[in-house]
Amino acid sequence: MRRIFAVIAGAIILAIFLSCWSFMPDSSDLERYCEDGSDSYEPTEFA
């Protein structure tokens, strides 16, 4: 039972990490995205 709980907890942590990684890129990716001229992207929505 503990093993199942550990796997579920690990999956949740991994999902949170991946979602945060996709919404909070490093400065180079953010600058590249802003240079595309997309006005629909607002980082404050994900803060």
Supply the pLDDT for residue 19: 72
For the chain, the structural domain boundaries read: 2-46
Supply the pLDDT for residue 34: 52
Q: Over its length of 47 residues, how does the chain's per-residue pLDDT go in tens digits? A: 899 999 999 999 888 787 766 666 555 555 555 555 555 555 555 55
Supply the pLDDT for residue 1: 85
Residue 13 phi, psi (nearest 5): -60, -40
Supply the pLDDT for residue 16: 79
User: CA-to-CA distance for 13 and 35, rounded, in angstroms?
Assistant: 32
User: CA-to-CA distance for 24 and 29, rounded, in angstroms?
Assistant: 9
Average pLDDT, the chain: 70
Supply the pLDDT for residue 39: 55
